[in-house]
Structure 1
């Protein structure tokens, strides 16, 4: 049953206590109210760095008013009255009593730069968390006209935020977050499964096209059996061995796929009925993989920011590593969707090791002339 407070019980006791940064903000504002000249010693924070609207309004008011003479400020509180009047334009709930309480809770005004550094660190955490949430939402928004482009734009915004935090808090060597990363989200999308099946069938029927699809990896597949079959296909093609449903089935047996829930007849049926081109279905699969990688990136960084034990240095290192994983998938997407630039073929080329063999063309329609032997 829900708890019913007693008549003499203070309902405010049920309110969650403020975060530590709230008390740090009180100490910094108290230092400025007590010794306004301390504002010149502080850099890196603005009104948006504070966690509450009241504190932001107070900092903005303090910053906008010229600091009074220290001796005059100690004797007369006119400057405090001016700060309160300006701040109440943005936060009407502020009172003179709260300003005096801020002065009382400040332990040591000369520590204002240290307090400001703490507030700056917490603001960076909130900025990073907000950018990660925007990325997660974009990666799951099916209404976007260009989901991949929009999601990668959000990833760029997040990357710029990480760069800014790096400039403010250069990371130390080995400062990795100790927070466990969340597992990769598993999707049960029937469209994704159908597209993977169509790719495998079409690639088996047209293996020559698969050699140009190095931008697709088994990790892009949502179904583990499909990922294994794609590895079988690419392995056979790399060995330059015949590719058809039977040879793929034989390779799947050697890789232990048939014991993982796939029966031989099911594999043969899966590889039958090609439709379209392998490149088309491969791009569809990679499209989903990019969005899944972006979603996982956002969740990883969100998890880091939710752990108050992580310092800004650890957030930078963990975020950079997470961004690097998305960059790898993004590079493959660019290779898959970018048309190769036309190149001028030299008059004579020499095949070297690692050069792709020319594609087989149609048979000649005329018989080449036979060289005559001189009598």
Structure 2
């Protein structure tokens, strides 16, 4: 098999040549297999994967015998062909030619392992992103947090395999945050929370796990900040006092009557709707974290140590939000009365605003 048959249509990545050099060194000197602690799945190329697996199963020949006769090469090729039918004896000779120096076997193995770490980290990020956006999951928050745990465990392993070095943070520019999930259901849940919190302001003291930035619609977050400010100052909280507080913090893109109507129709409990708002924020942060880690893995300039350090930094904000989610959903929380899945009225735009909904 020719080299071009094993490579993809795209130009081979540097790891392709590292894999060839490593396999070539092992074909030249099979005794060096004891110096390599890789598994077959560390190889990105399927044919290389099969060939290395065959090397691990075939008994290592005596060096003098191997130098005189290619019997071991034939055994390895025969063992690898069921998994990679396109392998040929000529490609094994190509691998030998691609090895600059068999004494550098350990260095080639480190390159292969480093690329495997990059690919595996990318797979973890992909699974996290998918979990954060899969609306069919019965427990989206639990699934996302389980993926975060798996990612954290892999990062611990990654840190133990590669030595630190100066310049530990990636220089990859962070991607733009993904758009927050919006729509009538999201807006109605946030409005229901604002109305319930206005009617039951004592619950705000129990909801320190919720922050204005958790809201998908910034204006709703600002209204929630108004409620928090009033409660913190121990001032009366009702629709009128919130309206008065809001005029100092919000643009006049709604009519006072609309805001009064919204805040005067509570359905359910603040805790119920607050958990829904917080879960959406958790999923959004998880998705943005996954996108950031993806960008690290897509940048070949990042070393394994930089990938581990940068990914841990990306997980920090998600970890902080996770702590707040656990506080909100811990079993010791007082029981909450069920909320009726019915939305309150929506704010209508003021006459000077466009006819569509404002600030969505």
Which of the numbers 82, 85, 93 marks the counterpart of 2:75? Answer: 82
Alignment pair present for 1:324 and 2:316:
yes
Distance 2:131 2:98 in 1: 43
Structure 2's unaligned 5+ residue stretches are 335-360
Among 305, 308, 325, the residue aligned to 2:300: 308
Task: Check the 8 A contact 1:258/1:264 in 2, yes or no.
Answer: no
| Residues 132-281 of structure 1 mapped to structure 2, 5 A cutoff | 132-172=125-165, 174-186=167-179, 187-255=181-249, 257-259=250-252, 261-281=253-273
Q: Quote how far apart the aligned CAs of 1:340 are.
A: 2.2
Report deviation, 1:328. 1.1
Q: Is the counterpart of residue 288 in structure 1 residue 277 in structure 2? A: no
Q: For residue 194 of structure 2, give the secondary structure of its aligned residue in structure 1.
A: helix
2:114 pairs with 1:99: no
CA distance in 1, matches of 2:183, 2:42: 41
In 2, the alpha carbon distance for the partners of 1:119 and 1:339 equals: 46
Name the residue aligned to 2:350. none
How does the TM-score come out when normalised to structure 2?
Answer: 0.87
Structure 1 or 2, whichever has the larger Rg, is: 1
How many angstroms apart in 1 are the aligned matches of 2:81 and 2:247? 75
CA distance in 1, matches of 2:286, 2:128: 7
Match of 2:61 among 68, 71, 84: 68
Alpha-carbon spacing, 1:66–1:136, altered in 2? closer, same or farther (3 Å): same
Shift of 1:170: 4.0
Contact preservation (8 Å) 1:225, 1:262: no
1:102-128 deviation per Cα after TM superposition (whole angstroms, max 9, x unaligned): 001111110110010011000001111
Taking the TM superposition and a 5 Å limit, the aligned residue runs for 1:315-354 are 315-340=307-332
How far the C-alpha of 1:14 sits from its partner, in A, is 10
Root-mean-square deviation (CA, aligned residues, Å) is 2.0
CA distance in 2 between partners of 1:104 and 1:316 (Å) = 35
- Note the C-alpha offset of 1:251: 2.0
Q: Is residue 26 of structure 1 aligned with residue 14 of structure 2?
A: no
Paired with 2:104 and 2:313, the residues of 1 have a C-alpha distance of: 34
Instruction: For residue 254 of structure 1, give the secondary structure of its aligned residue in structure 2.
Output: coil
Return 5+ residue gaps in structure 1 as ranges: 1-9, 343-375
TM-score (norm 1): 0.83
Q: Which of 117-126 and 184-193 deviates more?
A: 184-193
Q: 1:69, 1:168 → 2: CA distance? A: 32
Query: How far is the alpha carbon of 1:36 from its aligned partner?
Result: 1.0
Q: How many pairs does the alignment contain?
A: 329
Q: Does the aligned pair in 2 maintain the 1:202–1:277 contact within 8 Å? A: yes
Mapped to 2, the partners of 1:160 and 1:34 lie a distance apart of 37
What's the counterpart of residue 298 of structure 1?
290
- 1:13 is displaced (CA, Å) by 12
Q: Structure 1 residues 96, 14: CA separation in 2 closer, same or farther (over 3 Å shift)?
A: closer
Distance (whole Å) between structure 2 residues aligned to residue 233 and residue 341 of structure 1:
22
C-alpha distance after superposition, 1:322-352 (max 9, x if no partner): 222111111111111113289xxxxxxxxxx
Corresponding residue for residue 372 of structure 1: none
289-298 or 264-273, larger mean C-alpha shift: 264-273
Q: Which moved more, 1:243-252 or 1:132-141?
A: 243-252
Given that 1:129 and 1:305 are in contact with CA atoms closer than 8 Å, whether structure 2 keeps it comes out as: yes
What does the per-residue CA deviation read over 1:211-244, in whole Å, with 9 as the maximum and x for residues that have no partner? 1000101111001111111111111101111112
